[in-house]
Amino acid sequence: MKLFRRFRRQISISALVLTFLAATEAPSPAQVRITEFMYQGANQEFIEFTNVGGAAVDMSGWSYDDDSRTIGAVNLSAYGLVLPGQSVLLTESSEADFRAAWSLSSSVRIIGGLTTNLGRNDEINLFDAVGALADRLTYGDQNLPGSIRTQTRSGWVMPAGVGQNNILMWTLAASGDASGSRVSAGGDSGNPGVYPFSSFPVPGQQPRNRAVWLS
């Protein structure tokens, strides 16, 4: 009888572990996704998240981590309510310095001072408020020949590649490209703060490539 109770307890514990893992790996229903990133630049690294869905998302309790995949590692609650089509930024630089370098208006929400930094071969993990995986991007030109290296030039993705975790679907920024990329005060190329392919224009956050936005 004791052996049976011990066996039943072990099964229960195993079930709880599997349930936890399923919850953290299951895709989040909220449509906030990774849309641009740069692992190294003159104005330091950044990651852009965009609400590509049709409903506002409260990012209170959301978090980010690199390839350690630790839920809650970097708290993203400061973004608050993110409207459909709105992009928010996470950067190693201070908020003020990054905003000045890219000439970003006060309407673009930025969390600065990131210390969980990206490497040349790394991963971006976005978790929602209950710890479910909202999006993941695994990258590294050394590990995956032919993929982009986002050093002083950001990587961006067309809608077809959003949420696919396929770095081969990402494009390296170049001034005047389809993403509306431009050059920062420090000489980096990218378009942080606006995802020009969104179907949901955000008041006060105008796209820098209107031809693409209206197409």
The predicted pLDDT at position 14 comes to 40
pLDDT digits 0-9 by tens, 107-136? 999 999 999 999 999 999 999 999 999 999
Residue 117 phi, psi (nearest 5)? -85, 155
Q: How many CA atoms lie within 13 A of 60 on its CB side?
A: 3
The residues that bridge with 189 in the sheet, in sequence order, are 153, 183
Indicate the pTM of the whole model. 0.84
Query: Which pair of structure tokens corresponds to residue 108?
Result: 């673009």
pLDDT digits 0-9 by tens, 8-47? 444 343 443 333 344 445 556 679 999 999 999 998 999 9
Which residue stretches of the chain are H helix? Answer: 2-25, 95-102, 210-214
Pair type for strands 109-111 and 87-91: parallel
The predicted pLDDT at position 24 comes to 43
Dihedral sign for Cα atoms in the order 197, 185, 91, 86: negative
The predicted pLDDT at position 201 comes to 81
CA atoms of 202 and 199, how far apart (whole Å): 10
The predicted pLDDT at position 56 comes to 97
The predicted pLDDT at position 29 comes to 67
CATH superfamily of 30-214: Lamin Tail domain (2.60.40.1260)
Query: Which pair of structure tokens corresponds to residue 18?
Result: 């599997």
pLDDT digits 0-9 by tens, 129-163? 999 999 999 999 998 888 999 999 999 999 999 99
Taking the domains of the chain in order of start, what are their residue ranges? 30-214
pLDDT digits 0-9 by tens, 42-67? 989 999 999 999 999 999 999 999 99
pLDDT digits 0-9 by tens, 169-213? 999 999 999 999 999 999 999 999 999 998 888 876 655 544 333
